[in-house]
Structure 1
Amino acid sequence: MTTEPVISGGGAGGERRDAVLQAVSSAVLAVTRHLSVREVLQVIVRSARELLNARYAALGVPDDDGSFAEFVAEGVSDKQWEAIGPLPRQHGMLAAMLREAEPVRLPDIREDPRFEWWPSAHPVLKDFIGVPIRDGDQVLGIIFLSNKRAPGGFDRQDEELLALFAAHAAIALTNARLYERGRELTVVEERTRMAHELHDAVTQKLFSLRLTAQAAASLVRADPERAAAELDRVQRLAGEALAELRAVIVELRPADLDRHGLAETLRKHVAVLDRLHPVRVAFAADALGDLPPETEVAVLRVAQEALHNALRHAEASQVEVRLESDGTRVRLAVRDDGRGLPVGSPPSRGLGLASMRDRAEAAGGTLTLESHPDAGTTVRLELPT
C-alpha cells in the first residue's frame, strides 16, 4: 500500500501546503477545461517549477522505443530547444529514474555516476530533484527540476512537496488520457457516420453521372443536340456531387486537434514543413484557452493553405506563423519574405484564397491579404472565440 508524504507543521509549512494544493488544482482544472494531454503536461511542469522556485523544470513520458513520447520543459526558450536538437533518449539519469522509480535529490547532478552527458547547447544543470509520476506500479513519466533560485539547493521538504504534487499529477494525467481516448472514440464514431453519409450522398450522384456520360457518348454522332443536353446534365451532376463531397469533408475534424489541441497540431505541422523545405518555417503561439471546434478547424485549414501557397509560390527564404488570442478573438498570421504580388495584379493564388475566405466567413470571421512587390505577403485570419 502506497502512502502519500505528509507535510506537517503550521506557519511556513501551512503556506507551502496551500501552494502545493493550488498547483495541484491548476493541473486538475486543466483536465476539466478539456485540454489535451500535452497541455496538461505543460500545466504540471509550470506549476511544479513555480512551486519549488526552480529555474528549469521538465516532464518526460516514456515510449517503447527508448525515447520519450512526450517531453515538455519550462525555462528553455524555443531557440534553445532548436539548438539542443531532438527529444532526449532514455539514458543517464533519465533512464535511472525510469528504471528505479524512486525520488532523486542531488546537490550537483554532474557529480552523480549515473549522469552521462547532455548536448552542448543544453543549459548547465546543478542542483537537481526528480520524482516519478506513478499509477500503481506503472511509471507514467518523470518530473524533475534543477537550479533552485534560492541558495542552498533543494531540501527534504522540497522532495516531499514534489512527491505529493506528483501523486496528484498522476491522477490529472490519467484523467486527461482517459478523456482524450474518449474523444478519439467519439471522433471514430463520427467519422464512420459521415462515411456512410458520404457513400449515400455521393454514390448515387456518381452512378447517375456515369450513365449520363455513357448516354452522351452514344448520341454524339446520331443526335448531337441530345448529346449536348446530356453533357449539360453531366456538368450539373458533377457539380452537385462535388458540393456533396465538400460538405461532408468540411465536417471532418482532424484527429490531431483532439489529441494535441490547435497550437501543438499547428506547431508539429510547421516543424515537418521546416524539415522538408529549404525555407525556414517558424511558429509562435500564445496560450489560447478553449476554442470552438469549428474555429480550430478553420484556423488549421487556413494556416495549411497559406503555408502551402507561401512555400509553393512566394520564393521566400523565411515563413513565419503566429497564433494569438485575447480571449474574445483568435488571430492567425502567416507571413513570408518572398516576392509578393505586383501592384494592381489580382491574387495569383485564386482558388486557395477563395477557399480561405470561405472558411473564414463560415466561422464568422474575416481574412485579409497584404502583399507588396519584393516585400512578401501576409495572410491574416481573425475569428471569434
Structure 2
Amino acid sequence: MTGCGRAELREVSEAVLAVTARLSVHDVLKTIVASARRLLGARYAALGLPGPDDTFGEFITDGISDERARAIGPMPRQHGLLAAMLRDRNPVRLADVRSHPSFGWWPAAHPELTDFIGVPILHGDEILGTLFLANRREAGGFSAADEELLRLLAAHAAIALVNARLYERSRELSIVAERNRIARELHDAVTQKLFSLRLTADAAAMLVSRDAARAAAELDTVRRLAAEATEELRAIVVGLRPVDLSGDGLDTALRKQTDLLDRVHRPAVRFAGAPVPRLPAVREEAAYRIAQEAMHNALRHAEPGRVTVAVRTDDGSVVLEVTDDGRGFDPLTPTRQFGLASMRERARAAGGRLEVLSRPGAGTTVRLVVPADG
C-alpha cells in the first residue's frame, strides 16, 4: 500500500474491524457501504449484489436520505454503468460518470453525480457485489490511492461477506436439524401416547353406561396416559434449552439468543450485560425463559425500535432486565395477564422476584432478581 499513510491505514483497520464484527449479511453490507463512504470522503456510496439475469438482487445506499430514496423509486435493474460492473472484474474511476459509454440515465429525484469510482468485491472468480462511490468531498476527484484503499476494503469485505453467508447458512441448517429432531420425538413418543389415550377414552365412553367400574378403570388409564404425554412434551421442550445455558452459562446464552433475534427481526435486539456467576440449573433456566418471554412479548406486541437485554450481579443477586422502547401497556390489562403470570410463577419457583414496569407510550422493563448463591 504505497499510497497509504499511517492515518489512512488506521482508517482502513477500523473499517475492516467494523465489517468483520457483523454476522448478519445485511449488517455486513450496510457496514461496508458506510465504511467505504467515510474512508474515501464521498458524498454518496452504494453496494449492489448480483441477482438473476444480470439484475441487482440487492442495492444498498449510504448518504441518501430515506425521503429521497423513496422519491428515486425502486432499485436499478438492468441498465447503465452500474449493471455493467456486475459482470466486469475491473475497477472504474472517472472524473465524470456521464462520460462512460455505458452511462444511461438516472431518475429525476436522483442526486447529480460527477466523479465516480467503482470496485468489485471478489471471491475467487465470483463477483459477490460492487462498491460504488461518487462526488468526493475534496476537490480533484478520486485518486489512484483512493482506488487502492477501496480495493483493500473490498478484499476484506469479501471475506466478511462469505463468512456471514456461511454463518447464516449454518444457523438455517441447525434450525432444520432441530425441527427434524422434534418431529421424530413427537412421532416416536407423544403421537403414539396420544393415540393410545384416544382409544382408551373411546373405550371408557362405551362402558360408562354398562360397566361403571370398568369405565372408571379406563378413565384412570386416560389420566395416566395424559400425564405421561404431558411429561414427554415437557421433556421435548426442555430439549430445546440451548447447549450454551448448561455449558457456558446464562450471559453467553442470552447474548447468543439476542444475536439470533436481531438477525430475524427488524427492531434492534442487543445484549448489554456482563459476565455473571453460574447459578443453580433451576435459576438459570427460569432466568433464560423469562428473558425469552419478555423479548418475544416486546417483539410481538410493543412495536419497538430497540430491545435490550442486560444481566449483572448486584449485592449477592443476579439481576436480569429486558427493556424495550415500544408503546408500553398497562400491566393490569387482563389480556396480558397470562404471560405475566407465567413469568412470575417461574420467578417464584426459582426463589426470585419479578417486576414489570410499563405504561402506555413509555416502553416496558421486565426485571428479575434471583439470589446468586445456592
**Equivalent of 1:57 in 36, 45, 60:** 45
How many Å apart are 1:243 and its aligned residue?
5.5
Alignment CA distance shift 1:368-1:60 (3 Å): farther
Q: Deviations over 1:12-33 (max 9, x none)?
A: 63543443344334434x26xx
**1:63 to 1:362, Cα distance in 2 relative to 1, 3 A:** farther
Q: 1:333 is matched with which residue: 299, 315, 324?
A: 324
Does residue 13 in structure 1 map to residue 13 in structure 2?
no
Distance in structure 1 (CA, Å) of the matches to 2:64 and 2:344: 37
Amino acid at match of 2:15: A
Residue type at the aligned position of 2:324? A
* Counterpart code for 1:51: L
Deviations 1:116-167 (A, max 9, x none): 22473x5554433221111232111111223333233322211121112212
Tell me the CA shift for residue 347 of structure 1. Answer: 1.8
* Residue equivalent to 2:315: none
> Aligned with 1:101: secondary structure?
coil
Q: Structure 1 residue 143 and structure 2 residue 143: aligned?
A: no
How far did residue 87 of structure 1 move? 4.8
The amino acid that maps onto 1:347 is: P
C-alpha contact 2:56 2:83 (8 A) present in aligned 1 = no
Q: Which residue of 2 aligns with 1:117?
A: 106
Residue in 2 aligned with 1:157? 145
1:348 matched to which residue of 2?
335
**1:75: Cα distance to partner?**
3.4
Unaligned runs of 5+ in 2: 243-255, 276-284, 313-319, 370-374
Residues 343-375 of structure 1 deviation map (CA, whole Å, 9 limit, x = unaligned): x9652244455567789999999673634xxx5
Q: 1:194 to 1:153 in 2, by over 3 A?
A: same
**Superimposed CA distance per residue, residues 233-261 of structure 1 (whole angstroms, 9 cap, x where no aligned partner):** 535644653554365357299xxx99x94
Distance 1:212 1:17 in 2: 75
State the Cα distance separating 1:66 from its structure 2 match: 5.5
Corresponding position of 1:131: 119
Which has more radius of gyration? 2
Deviations along 1:250-274, one digit per CA (max 9) or x if unpaired, are 7299xxx99x94324111xxxxxxx
Partner of 1:95: 83
Cα pair distance change 1:305/1:49, threshold 3 Å: same
Identify the match of residue 323 of structure 1 among 304, 307, 320.
307
Q: 1:45 and 1:14, CA in 2 relative to 1: closer, same or farther beyond 3 A?
A: same
| TM-score, reference length from structure 2 | 0.68
- In the comparison of the two structures, how many residue pairs are matched? 335
Once residues 362 and 272 of structure 2 are traced to their aligned partners in structure 1, the CA distance between those partners, rounded to angstroms, is 28
Q: Which has the higher contact order (CA 8 A, sep 6+)?
A: 1
Q: Distance in 2 between matches of 1:187 and 1:144?
A: 36
Q: Judge which range, 107-116 or 205-214, deviates more.
A: 107-116
Look up the SS of the partner of 1:335 in the other structure: coil
Q: CA 1:22/1:369 → structure 2, altered by over 3 Å: closer, same or farther?
A: closer
Instruction: Say what the alpha-carbon RMSD is for the aligned residues.
Output: 4.5
Verify the 8 A CA contact 2:122 2:158 in the aligned structure 1: yes
Indicate if the aligned counterparts of 1:356 and 1:367 stay in contact, CA closer than 8 A: no
| Equivalent residue in structure 1 for 2:194, among 194, 200, 206 | 206
Taking a change above 3 Å as real, the CA distance of residues 56 and 297 of structure 1, as seen in their structure-2 partners, is farther
Q: Residue 309 of structure 1 contacts residue 349 of structure 1 at CA under 8 Å; is this kept in 2?
A: no
After superposition, the Cα gap between the structure-2 partners of 1:80 and 1:244, relative to the gap in structure 1 and judged at 3 Å, is farther
Following superposition, the deviation at residue 226 of structure 1 comes to 4.8
Aligned to 1:221: 209
> Is the deviation greater in 78-87 or in 215-224?
78-87
Say whether the 8 Å CA contact 1:299–1:332 is kept in structure 2: no
Whole-Å separation in 1 of the counterparts to 2:186 and 2:80: 52
Closer, same or farther in 2 for the Cα pair 1:194/1:175, shift >3 Å? same
C-alpha distance in 2, partners of 1:87/1:301? 38
Distance in 1 between the 2:16 and 2:6 partners? 15
Q: Tell me, yes or no, if the aligned pair for 2:274 and 2:310 is still in contact at 8 Å.
A: no
Identify if the C-alpha distance between structure 1 residues 379 and 21 changes in structure 2 by more than 3 Å, giving closer, same or farther. Answer: closer
SS at match of 1:116: coil
Deviation of 1:297 (Å): 9.4
Cα displacement (A) at 1:51: 1.7
Q: CA deviation at 1:216?
A: 1.5
